[in-house]
Amino acid sequence: MSASPTEGKPGKAQPKVNVLRCRGCKGLLAFEETDEGYLLGQAIELADVDGAKRYFPCPKCGGRQLVEEYVHEGKRRSRICGFEPA
């Protein structure tokens, strides 16, 4: 058997990833967020737009998970910044 390339080597700690849940009804959304609160990938590009607001609609309750973009450690990130009920 061959050993995996990372076996026995200390690596960079990976962030814990959680499925994004609605802030209102706790329904599941099709995005992931880290324990630090930022969304994985370019989720901001997939958010719906209503005027100046960007949001992910909840398929269960219809509420809006408001999304904002910010800079963290020199990188553009996005995070959930609020909730608007339907």
pLDDT(2) > 90: no
pLDDT in tens, 12-67: 777 788 999 999 999 999 999 998 889 988 888 999 999 999 999 999 999 999 99
Compare 58 and 8 and report the one with higher pLDDT.
58
pLDDT at 42: 85
> Which backbone phi and psi does 45 adopt, to 5 degrees?
-70, -25
Residue 58's Cβ-count burial label (10 Å; 0-12, 13-18, 19+) is buried
| SS3 label, residue 71 | strand
What are the tokens at 20? 């994004």
